Amino acid sequence: MKVSYELKNLMVLFVVLIDLLFLPRLTVPFSIPISLLFLIVWFFLEKGIKLSIVKYILLAMLSSIVLSSVLYGEDINRIDNLKRGLQLISLWFFYVFAINLKQFSTERVLVILLRLTFLHLILMSIIFYLDPTFYGRIINSIYPETRGNVEDLLMHLRFPYIFKDPNSASYFVTILLCGILVVDKSKLFRFLISIAAVWLILLTQSRGGLLSLLCIFVTYILFISELKLVSKLLLSVFISLSIFIVVIQTQDLYYIYESILERFNQEDSLGGGRGEKYKYFLSNFNVLPWGNGYNLVQDGHIFRPHSDLIRFNLSYGLLLLPLLLLPLLPKNTKELIFFYPLITAFLINTIFDDYRLIAVYLVVFFVARDIIKKKEICIEK
């Protein structure tokens, strides 16, 4: 009976990861992964689910989001605000599912699917590199959620994989790379996939992704790898310089500086540049337990923060952000490398606005956390 129970839950994990890593999302009535429906059924039918503090977190989130979305938002945006709030709450089905896999042997399932995903990423990136237009037609036909965005990305030759934003694709790669580095036992696969990750992130042209990748490599080499100290230092310097040289070779150094400055301060039709957004955030910091809902308005215009930090404070108040981040804080150096793509996307782009991205993070991170803990217990014994 125990074997069938474990097999059933591992099959659910397999279905969830296959959906998040490869399959298109539902678009009607909500833009959600298909696997969410499986998890809702699993949540209400599965016996022995351990909630503990999770049910209180869910209650606090529900109260905060509903207050923010319905009571204090603009009248014309209340329906959309409520929809966004429900989408955010539904992410915790993935969280509850992941933390209830502790009693099962999930390592093999995770490693196999992560390897397959990188193989798929490499094949897709080659198609993109050889014929971006053909790639765009493939993606638009399979993933309806990307329609209207891929064409713009192809003009700048930025590899989006199956995301609307190539920055999300870069964070997706770094999250999966973290899973490989801490879970995969094969040194050969860890090395090959690390090389592939560099290629993929360079193809996305994401500076945030490149920064996350550099932090992951340096932390892994210095604190996780079994190399000698001198080798660790030399390899860290070599990788840092190599990435720096590649960036310089592909773009003029002065242009990089000007581009970063321009990206930070550039004006757009959705609320100014990043610098202006952070100025607005600091001057309007929200200390209340609720906010104005997902859709923010500044001087009669839609305000898009392009930062989860700004979004969560202004949209949902002071309470929700700590509740979201507390379970995701790293407990050791192996978990620390997962924190880099999370915090980078959180501060300068978004991770919570992309359902696929944050759902992948929750499942991969918590499954990997449990595998790390089991390995540490075995070593102590």
- 85 assigned to some structural domain: yes
Q: Tens digits of per-residue pLDDT, 323-360?
A: 888 889 998 888 999 999 999 999 888 899 889 999 99
- 43 assigned to some structural domain: yes
The string of DSSP letters for 271-327 reads T--HHHHHHHHHHT---SS--S-SSEEETTEEE--SSHHHHHHHHH-TTHHHHHHGG
- 310 assigned to some structural domain: no
Residue 176 pLDDT greater than 70, yes or no: yes
Residue 252 pLDDT greater than 50, yes or no: no
Q: How far apart are CA 324 and CA 312, in angstroms?
A: 10
- 271 assigned to some structural domain: no
Residue 241 pLDDT greater than 90, yes or no: no
Q: Which of 238, 242, 244 is nearest to 256 (CA)?
A: 244
For the chain, give the mean pLDDT.
81
- 285 assigned to some structural domain: no
Q: Tens digits of per-residue pLDDT, 86-99?
A: 888 888 889 888 88
Q: How far is CA 241 from CA 193, 198, 205, 210, 245, in A?
A: 20, 13, 18, 13, 6
Model pLDDT, residue 192: 94
Measure the CA angle with vertex 263, ends 259 and 264; round to 5°: 120
Give the total number of structural domains in the chain.
Answer: 1
Element (H, E) at 354: none
262 or 82, higher pLDDT: 82
Q: In which domain, by residue range, is 351 found?
A: 2-264+320-380
Q: How far apart are CA 69 and CA 294, in angstroms?
A: 7
Q: How far apart are CA 161 and CA 135, in angstroms?
A: 9
125: tokens are: 């990136």
Model pLDDT, residue 29: 65
Confidence of residue 254 (pLDDT cuts 50, 70, 90): very low
Before 29, cis peptide (omega within 30)?
A: yes
Kindly state the average pLDDT of the residues 182-195.
93
- 34 assigned to some structural domain: yes
Q: Is residue 105 exposed (0-12), middle (13-18) or buried (19+ Cβ within 10 Å)?
A: exposed
Residue 271 pLDDT greater than 60, yes or no: no
112 or 56, higher pLDDT: 112
Q: Tens digits of per-residue pLDDT, 112-143?
A: 999 999 999 999 999 999 988 888 888 888 88
- 118 assigned to some structural domain: yes
Model pLDDT, residue 378: 59
Confidence of residue 157 (pLDDT cuts 50, 70, 90): confident
- 247 assigned to some structural domain: yes
Q: Tens digits of per-residue pLDDT, 211-224?
A: 899 899 988 888 88
